[in-house]
């Protein structure tokens, strides 16, 4: 077989060559492949196609903006109307009072920007030893150098010849506030810049926070002057039934990293919401005020910003954040019902995202491959779990059908196992 030019992301190439699913078009919650298969998008692509695919008005907005100003950078004195409007809109819905907005190109960018900003801030205020970033085991924060370095998924850190591409990272147990306290004790608060967490840990298997966990973490952060950073790349913009999971879980982050749902994936956009404590020195009048020397070519891209504004308008106009909350209830019921299946170890829901953790009798890779044959896309996550996070325009019945398709695959696998045991 000839080898394709495209090197797919996060792919074991020998295993995917010849098995690629080539998506040619999409509308609403459905994709069409080059073989003519129609597939339900049960993961909203990578957790982000929240308003659904193929919206005409999104295409129209991009077209209109391109005719007016397709791009200009926002370095130094330059700006553009769409970037200004988007920043103002984001400030108006942010769970941080009086926030400032940094725009860039995606989630991994946002993580780099957030962690560099945390270090830059401490450096500026003279506490130059505050450098270490603490993250959680099982966490995923993208794959740029900082995201790779703080990754709680070990396989994403391996093979680079060093424990951490960027110096000064530590991980603590996913739900273990005592481990965080012990790490502060061991390293000393004066060496720690920030703690970062996904409010609901996503790629690591969809783990909502345990009761009291973040309260304790935030108390420790406050008492030890450690910045609290919420990675809302998945949870931002409605996935948890609130615009931000920080509101749902009563978090008061110093920085929020966002991406994905801000445009529902219609364009590559990420960014930060930054609390006054952090931004203040950078905005103070005076020749001595510091410059945050971060920024990317496409920061504040006007077409991207216009798409984000339209996406936020659609979310509000169609009540899709409230709808996501309703869908969470439907998904929770369906997952509760499948929990008693012999091949299911556990289920978890937090917002309109859930996971079915499978027993060792069957692998998540096998189940997701079989479910595709039935017309539904799901995805294997860490811990032998199957991801479910469809668009917010999904119907109740589609949620039932999707979980039903997983059940049918598990039933068939169980029947095969029983038969094999009987004939053995």
Is residue 193 close enough to count as binding ligand PLP by CB under 6 A? no
46 binds ligand PLP (CB under 6 A): yes
398 sits near ligand PLP (criterion: CB under 6 A): no
Q: Site for ligand PLP (CB under 6 A): which residue of 94, 99, 200, 234?
A: 234
Nearest approach, Cβ of residue 135 and ligand PLP (Å) = 11
Q: What are phi and psi for residue 381, nearest 5 degrees? A: -115, 170
Q: How many CB atoms lie within 10 A of CB 10?
A: 6
145 binds ligand PLP per the rule CB under 6 A: no
The answer to whether residue 385 forms part of the interface with ligand PLP (CB under 6 A) is: no
CB of 203 to ligand PLP, least distance (A): 5
Contact 261, 46 (CB under 8 A): no
Q: Is 198 or 254 the residue whose CB approaches ligand PLP more closely?
A: 198
Assess 112 for contact with ligand PLP (CB under 6 A).
no
Q: Is 199 in the site for ligand PLP (CB under 6 A)?
A: no
Radius of gyration of the chain (CA): 22
256: which 2 tokens?
């929020």
- Cβ closest to ligand PLP, residue 30 vs residue 140: 140
Cα(133)–Cα(165) distance, rounded to whole angstroms? 13
Taking CB under 6 A as the binding criterion, the range among 101-109, 185-193, 341-349, 390-398 that sits at the site for ligand PLP is: 101-109
Is residue 387 within 8 A of residue 205, CB to CB? The reply is: no
Of the residues 170, 231, 242, 398, which one makes contact with ligand PLP according to CB under 6 A? 231
The reply on whether position 233 binds ligand PLP by CB under 6 A is yes
| Helix and strand totals (H; E) in the chain | 14, 15
Q: How many CB atoms lie within 10 A of CB 212?
A: 10
**Residue 31 neighbours by CB under 8 Å, 6+ apart:** 23, 25, 38, 39, 41, 53, 377
What track of x and - describes contact with ligand PLP for positions 146 through 185 (by CB under 6 A)? ----------------------------------------
DSSP for 241-293, written as a single string = SSS-HHHHTT---SEEEE-GGGTTTSS--EEEEE-HHHHHHHHSSSTTS----
Tell the residue number behind the tokens 């002057």, with chain if given: 225
- CA gap 160, 140 in Å, rounded: 17
Which range binds ligand PLP by CB under 6 A, 31-39, 104-112, 215-223, 293-301? 104-112
Q: How many CB atoms lie within 10 A of CB 416?
A: 11
106 is a contact residue toward ligand PLP (CB under 6 A): yes
First to last CA, the chain: 38
Asked if residue 258 binds ligand PLP (CB under 6 A), the reply is no
CB of 391 to ligand PLP, least distance (A): 16
Can you tell me which of 65, 80, 108, 384 binds ligand PLP, judged by CB under 6 A?
A: 108
For ligand PLP, the closer of residues 349 and 405 by Cβ is 349
Assigned token pair, 329? 């209830």
Give the residue among 346, 366, 265 at the shortest CA–CA distance from 47: 265
Can you spell out the DSSP letters for 81-103? HHHHHHHHHHHHH-SSTT-EEEE
Of 63-71, 139-147, 176-184, 300-308, the segment contacting ligand PLP by CB under 6 A is: 139-147
Which of 259, 275, 320, 344 is the binder for ligand PLP (CB under 6 A)? 259
Tokens for 335, please give them: 């997952």
Task: Give the C-alpha separation, 101 to 104, whole Å.
Answer: 10
The residue count of the chain comes to: 424
H helix intervals, 195-290: 213-224, 245-248, 276-283
Interface residue with ligand PLP among 42, 52, 138, 142 (CB under 6 A) is: 142
Shortest separation between residue 112's beta carbon and ligand PLP, angstroms: 9
Provide the minimum distance between the beta carbon of 142 and ligand PLP in the complex, in angstroms, as a whole number.
Answer: 3
Residue closer to ligand PLP, measured from CB, 45 or 80: 45
Q: Which residues bind ligand PLP (CB under 6 A)?
A: 46, 106-108, 111, 140-142, 198, 202-203, 231, 233-234, 259, 270
């Amino acid at each position: 077989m000839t080898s394709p030019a495209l090197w797919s992301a996060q792919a074991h190439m020998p295993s995917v060559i010849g098995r690629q699913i080539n998506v040619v078009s999409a509308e609403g919650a459905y994709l069409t492949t080059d073989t003519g298969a129609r597939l339900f998008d049960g993961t909203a692509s990578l957790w982000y196609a929240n308003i659904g695919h193929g919206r005409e008005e999104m295409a129209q907005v991009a077209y209109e903006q391109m005719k007016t100003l397709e791009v200009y950078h926002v370095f130094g004195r330059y700006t553009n109307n769409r970037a200004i409007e988007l920043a103002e809109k984001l400030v108006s819905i942010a769970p941080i009072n009086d926030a400032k907005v940094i725009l860039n190109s995606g989630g991994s960018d946002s993580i780099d920007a957030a962690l560099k900003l945390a270090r830059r801030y401490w450096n500026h205020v003279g506490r130059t030893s505050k450098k270490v970033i603490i993250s959680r085991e099982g966490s995923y924060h993208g794959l740029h150098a900082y995201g790779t370095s703080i990754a709680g998924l070990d396989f994403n850190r391996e093979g680079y010849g060093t424990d951490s591409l960027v110096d000064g990272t530590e991980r603590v147990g996913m739900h273990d506030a005592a481990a965080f306290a012990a790490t502060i004790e061991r390293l000393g608060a004066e060496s720690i810049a920030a703690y970062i967490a996904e409010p609901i840990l996503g790629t690591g298997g969809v783990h909502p926070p345990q009761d009291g966990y973040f309260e304790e973490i935030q108390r420790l952060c406050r008492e030890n002057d450690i910045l609290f950073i919420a990675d809302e790349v998945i949870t931002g913009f409605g996935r948890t039934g609130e615009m931000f999971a920080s509101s749902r879980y009563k978090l008061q982050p110093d920085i929020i990293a966002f991406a994905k749902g801000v445009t529902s994936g219609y364009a590559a956009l990420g960014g930060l919401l930054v609390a006054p404590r952090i931004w203040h020195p950078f905005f103070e009048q005076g020749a001595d005020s510091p410059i945050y020397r971060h920024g990317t070519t496409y920061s504040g891209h006007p077409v991207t910003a216009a798409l984000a504004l339209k996406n936020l308008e659609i979310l509000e106009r169609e009540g899709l954040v409230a709808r996501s909350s309703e869908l969470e209830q439907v998904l929770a019921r369906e997952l509760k019902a499948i929990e008693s299946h012999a091949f299911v170890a556990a289920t978890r829901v937090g917002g309109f995202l859930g996971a079915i953790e499978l027993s060792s009798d069957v692998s998540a890779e096998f189940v997701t491959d079989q479910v595709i044959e039935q017309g539904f896309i799901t995805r294997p996550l860490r811990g032998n779990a199957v991801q479910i996070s469809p668009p917010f325009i999904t119907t109740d019945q589609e949620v039932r059908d999707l979980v039903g398709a997983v059940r049918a695959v598990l039933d068939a696998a169980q029947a095969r196992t029983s038969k094999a045991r009987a004939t053995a």
